Amino acid sequence: MESKEEEEYVLLDLDSVSSQFEIPPNAPYSFSGLNTEHPVLTIGDKLKLIGEYQETIGTCLIFKEEGKCIMDPNQSPSKQVKPVTSLQRILKFRLAPNLESHDPPEQSRDPVLHTVQSVAE
């Protein structure tokens, strides 16, 4: 029996981090643990973020710009957009806690949080 892969779009929310760090537009990044409660986003080799899924209030609609510009002499130029998908979840990221300076006792340590540290300092 063939298993069918299911595609899901998720909005990445980096607002809480982008005010603290400038993230270059072409910075390399990688995700890990996307199927866990707290996925990890690594940007470059200096910034590690921990995420948490949140349900949207209502439905978020995602569009992409088309290459054609709409020219109307009575309005400012605008681009055409095409709907891509809708989504129901947001993946909100924050800086991963720096656990080196104040490690909790071994038995109470969250295994996800323990492996994720901010090295941006």
Q: What CATH number corresponds to the domain at position 15? A: 2.60.40
pLDDT at 99: 37
The domain containing residue 63 runs over which residues? 11-115
Asked if residue 120 is part of any domain, the answer here is no
Percent of the chain with pLDDT over 90: 22
Asked if residue 93 is part of any domain, the answer here is yes
pLDDT < 50 positions in the chain? 99-121
pLDDT at 55: 92
Please state, rounded to an integer, the average pLDDT across all residues of the chain: 76
- For the beta carbon of residue 36, count every other beta carbon within 10 angstroms: 11
Summarised one tens digit per residue, pLDDT across range 48-81 is 999 999 998 888 898 888 776 767 778 777 778 8
pLDDT at 28: 93
Count of domains forming the chain: 1
pLDDT at 39: 95
Buried b (16+ CB within 10 A) or exposed e, 41-72: bbbeeebbbbbeeeeeeeeeeeeeeeeeeeee
